[in-house]
Amino acid sequence: MINSQLFSTLRARILLSYLFFLSLLVFVTFYVVQSTTYEHSTGQLLAHAKASANVVKDKIVSRSNALQESLNTVSKDFSFKQLIAGSVDDKISLKVALQNYQRRNDADIAWVLSDKQEVLASTATTESNTLKIDAQKFTHRDIQLLFIDDQFYLIKAAPIKYVESSRNINGWLVMGIDTRRLITPELVELTDMDVTLLRFNVPHQIIGTTHSTKLIEQLTLLPVKQEVGLHQLNKPLHQYLYFTDLFAQWNGTPIHILLTTHEEKAYVSYNSLLFQLILILAIAGIMASTAAMFLSNGVLSPIVKLVAVANQIRKGKYVSNFPTSSTLEVASLSSAISAMQDGIKSREVEIQDLAYNDSLTKLPNRNRFYKTLKEKLSDSPAPLAVMMLDLDRFKDINDTVGHEIGDILLQDIANRLKESATPSVFIAHIGGDEFGVIVDNIKDQTPETIANEFSSLFDTPFHIAQLTLDVDVSIGVATYPKDADSAYGLMQCADIALYSCKGLHYPIALYNPELNKHSVQRLNLMSELRGAVALGQLSLYYQPKLSIEENRISTVECLIRWIHPIHGFIPPDEFIPLAEQTGAIREVTHWVLKEAFRQQKTWKEQGHSIGIAVNISAIDLVDMTLPTYVEKLMQEYKSSSKCLTLEVTESAVMSEPESALKALNTLQSMGITLSIDDFGTGYSSMAQLKKMPVSELKIDKAFVLDLANNEDDQVMVRTLIALAQNLGLNTVAEGVEDSQSLSLLTDMGCTKAQGFYLSRPLPAKDFTDWLKQYEEKESA
């Protein structure tokens, strides 16, 4: 992090940019000069090697020519000719003379041959005397070699004529010099390179060299290029450079000159120049970097001062004196920062207002409410109450008369709350349709009394744009220090109480720990619900429906149960709303349908023909994939659509009537029986009911539980059954608790009955046993 900040400064970037381009320039310069120098040095080395090869050749040719001239002189010596002529009788004198001439010419081997090229005298070994030597070819001026006794010799020959003017050759004088003596340290001094004559082979045949024996042993095994040019030896002699050139021919085989030198020695001038170049570039780079640093400091010093000023402003410490500068750009920047500070001051005031006040109601907002509550708790330990007020059905007002009227309503409510507030009361608009109230020092009042006082403020309707709006409010109350000792804790407790009171439809609720437990458990259940399906925690219970006219069990209602491993039995009324909120209701409904069809197939295999009734929610109703899924299950379990009843509440249909009716028509077209559940408790109109493609009305148990004793219930049930009959619909009465109620329903013409009088909801196994007993009892 420190390094990142360091290299993000303007000074660092200027220096880095300068150093980058300087380094690039130095690198390019170094590369170009180094490459050019290296190529030049290599070219010089190659030229030197070529010249050295020529020197070696000239030196050897010169020696060869000197030997030839000497032989020509000896061959004309009269006394030597006499010795050759009398060699038949005196070979010793001829050999002595030959040895004398050999020594004078610094030769290593000599022969005197007859005109038929037979050896008359020789200083060589006996083996050499048997050689057939064609003396004629050794008279040429070029270099001629002869391989004798495992060694090469430089050979020259001169004809011997007894009469010089004669064309006849009477004999030959031949001498040779060991090639090893031709390659001398003098050549190393002349060429400044080691010299080797060799014949390429594996291993190479060394004819003469100035190298040491150890190095020659390694050299003979290494591959050597025959092409004329400068090359490098392979390991272990990779530090040596070599140059090859053709020297002579022997029996059609080329013999080469190999010039070698150590690479470091060859490029000594190049390396020296390279070091000087690096030193010069390094000094130039250091000087340029120092100059750049001084230049950047001079340019950036005023800017650094302005940065310090800007940092002070950033920390909220406003500056009165700004740095001045004669540089136009810096002076403009200083003026701009000064103007910026003034603008920040102005906007801070606006932001402060926006951060802690609600622009619509002009009341403090949630942030200010929390801050004030926190300050009150730290300043005074006196008991206080925190209330959260939430308007009931405010969304309906917005949707009905528009958001503009809704905003005016919130403003009127805020004004009414402010007008009634005493100095010990702090009121804030928390957000949406929710208000917060803090009441100080409540020793002389109970929380209920305080809450009732604020609730009574809503007894009077609000008049807006010729509209009269009755607004109810739900209030959650928490007290300090009883319920919580922190601002966050008190607000949370008041929210929990408010949620409880809205759920139970009470106007006021006081916080107690049980509500918190319920809230925490609710959150846990919301997260665990999806997993409950996979973990097998859900199960179906079955409650029979009696077909009254046929006196048989024709249908069972499939009721879901959640047996939680920790909390035990959780009523559907608690977790079904959670499933709808989390979106898990589709998975739950799909599981119920699949399990119900599976169980129906099992009963069918056992000989029981019985239909199934499944409840679906409002979310299921608008899920257009539901019909496809039901059809798939019917095919999978080979079930008829007439055996399935889907029960939906009035409220579910009325929440989105158009989408619901579309889904109901699709399901009805599949032959599925549709039933309106809890009929009589909703708010569906007769016109809407006529549009619904339903076959059955299910009368809510609230009208049936006390049917035998309550005449009002009897009137209501009779009316609902008559309504259904007039619409051509069947009826199901749930909540039948006794035989008298069943008799009344029979007399009223009800189609089916369901309730504890017949059976409680039972697991599949227990229901199967009950069904067998019931059928046996009826058939007896």
Give the residue extent of every domain in the chain: 1-50+280-356, 76-177, 185-266, 360-511, 533-770
Calculate the alpha carbon distances from 260 to 182, 192, 216, 237, 242 in Å.
Answer: 17, 9, 12, 11, 4
Token reading at 313: 């402003």
More confident residue, 603 or 513: 603
| Choice among 229-238, 641-650, 734-743 with the minimum mean pLDDT | 229-238
CB contact at 8 A, 357 and 367: no
Q: What pLDDT band is residue 8 in, cutting at 50, 70 and 90?
A: low
| Choice among 135-144, 260-269, 295-304 with the minimum mean pLDDT | 295-304
Is the pLDDT reported for residue 47 higher than 90? no
Element (H, E) at 752: strand 752-754
| Choice among 206-220, 295-309, 397-411 with the minimum mean pLDDT | 295-309
CATH architecture of 533-770: Alpha-Beta Barrel (3.20)
Q: Which CATH class is domain 76-177?
A: alpha beta
Is the pLDDT reported for residue 2 higher than 50? no
Looking at beta carbons, which pairs linking 681-689 to residues 24 or more positions away fall under 8 Å?
A: 681/650, 682/649, 682/650, 682/651, 682/654, 683/650, 683/651, 683/654, 684/650, 684/653, 684/654, 688/653, 688/654, 688/657, 689/727
pLDDT at 686: 61
Provide the sign of the torsion angle of the four alpha carbons 237, 240, 244, 250, taken in this order. Answer: negative
More confident residue, 543 or 682: 543
Helices (H) and strands (E) counted in the chain, each on its own, are 27, 27
Q: What pLDDT band is residue 312 in, cutting at 50, 70 and 90?
A: confident
Report the pLDDT averaged over residues 354-362.
Answer: 85
Percent of the chain beyond pLDDT 70? Answer: 90
Give the range with max mean pLDDT: 93-107, 213-227, 278-292: 93-107
DSSP string, 346-391: HHHHHHHHHHHB-TTT-SB-HHHHHHHHHHHHHH----EEEEEEEE
Token reading at 759: 């059976």
Q: What pLDDT band is residue 688 in, cutting at 50, 70 and 90?
A: low
Q: What pLDDT band is residue 685 in, cutting at 50, 70 and 90?
A: low
pLDDT at 42: 78
pLDDT at 707: 92
Give the range with max mean pLDDT: 323-337, 510-524, 564-578, 675-689: 564-578
Report the pLDDT averaged over residues 521-546.
Answer: 81
DSSP string, 269-319: HHHHHHHHHHHHHHHHHHHHHHHHHHHHHHHHHHHHHHHHHHHHHHTT---
More confident residue, 468 or 315: 468
Mean pLDDT of the chain: 83
Report the pLDDT averaged over residues 463-479.
Answer: 89
Report the pLDDT averaged over residues 490-510.
Answer: 83
Report the pLDDT averaged over residues 63-74.
Answer: 88
More confident residue, 296 or 205: 205
Calculate the alpha carbon distances from 482 to 445, 447, 453, 475, 743 in Å.
Answer: 14, 11, 21, 18, 56
Token reading at 606: 């056992």
| Choice among 314-323, 339-348, 728-737 with the minimum mean pLDDT | 314-323
d(CA 679, CA 555): 19
Give every CB contact of residue 133 below 8 A, 6+ residues apart in sequence: 111, 113, 117, 146, 157, 174
| Choice among 79-88, 364-373, 697-706 with the minimum mean pLDDT | 79-88
Structure confidence by residue, pLDDT tens digits, 158-191: 898 888 888 888 888 899 998 888 888 888 888 8
pLDDT at 116: 84
pLDDT at 553: 93
Which of 89, 74, 52 has the alpha carbon at shortest distance from 190? Answer: 52
Percent of the chain beyond pLDDT 90? Answer: 24
Report the pLDDT averaged over residues 605-629.
Answer: 87
Report the pLDDT averaged over residues 565-592.
Answer: 83
pLDDT at 297: 66
Q: What does the DSSP 8-state code read for residue 139? A: G
More confident residue, 683 or 724: 724
d(CA 447, CA 470): 25
Structure confidence by residue, pLDDT tens digits, 125-153: 755 556 677 788 888 777 888 888 778 88
Which of 74, 138, 151 has the alpha carbon at shortest distance from 108? Answer: 151
pLDDT at 1: 47
Structure confidence by residue, pLDDT tens digits, 77-124: 888 888 888 877 888 888 888 889 889 888 989 988 888 888 888 887
pLDDT at 137: 83
| Choice among 298-307, 461-470, 761-770 with the minimum mean pLDDT | 298-307
Is the pLDDT reported for residue 266 higher than 70? no
Element (H, E) at 425: strand 425-431
Q: What is the CATH number of domain 360-511?
A: 3.30.70.270
pLDDT at 131: 66
Is the pLDDT reported for residue 447 higher than 70? yes
pLDDT at 351: 77
pLDDT at 568: 83
d(CA 93, CA 112): 12
Is the pLDDT reported for residue 325 higher than 60? yes
Is the pLDDT reported for residue 10 higher than 50? yes
Is the pLDDT reported for residue 682 higher than 60? no
Report the pLDDT averaged over residues 378-385.
Answer: 82
3-state helix, strand, coil in the chain (%, to 5): 50, 20, 25
Is the pLDDT reported for residue 715 higher than 90? yes
| Choice among 237-241, 387-391, 511-515 with the minimum mean pLDDT | 237-241
